[in-house]
Amino acid sequence: QVQLQQWGAGLLKPSDTLSLTCAVYGGSFSGYYWTWIRQSPGVGLEWIGEINNSGSSNYNPSLKSRVNISVDTSKKQFSLRLSSVTAADTAVYYCARRGKTFDSGGFIEFWWFDPWGQGILVTVSS
């Protein structure tokens, strides 16, 4: 059973860089995209971006200029860095696996997020 465990600093000052890491236990690291999602009361659930074991990444355009997601396949870990944080970046940050299931015909891929990490509350405050 795949489990994700995440860690990182929970209290930042404006203009700091947010840094979080997620480790994958009990399953394959290859063949999936590894994802960061955040949740705040004002915005709700927001997809930040993803990376696969080869280092191919995709980012939310709204955050792309400040986000970097990296991967360490030897440790089965992936990391999020978000620069120049403001109070608007205060949220619970989750890591998750983007998995897929084929339809009955075997041609259509359905992508989904499961499992998720436990979440980390990151607060940006002066």
The residues of the shown chain that bind other proteins, judged by CB under 8 A, are: 44-47, 58, 60-62, 94, 96, 101, 103, 108, 110-119
Name the minimum Å distance from CB 23 to other proteins.
Answer: 15
Give the burial string for 48-86 (b: 16+ CB within 10 Å, else e): bbbbbbeeebebeeebeebbbbebeeeebbbbbebeebe
The smaller minimum CB distance to other proteins, of residues 61 and 74, is found at: 61
| Adjacent-strand bridge partners of 99 | 112
In Å, how far from its chain's centre is CA 121?
Answer: 13
The smaller minimum CB distance to other proteins, of residues 54 and 105, is found at: 105
Name the minimum Å distance from CB 118 to other proteins.
Answer: 6
Please name which of 9, 62, 4 lies closest in space to residue 34, comparing C-alpha atoms. 4
The smaller minimum CB distance to other proteins, of residues 16 and 39, is found at: 39
Name the minimum Å distance from CB 126 to other proteins.
Answer: 27
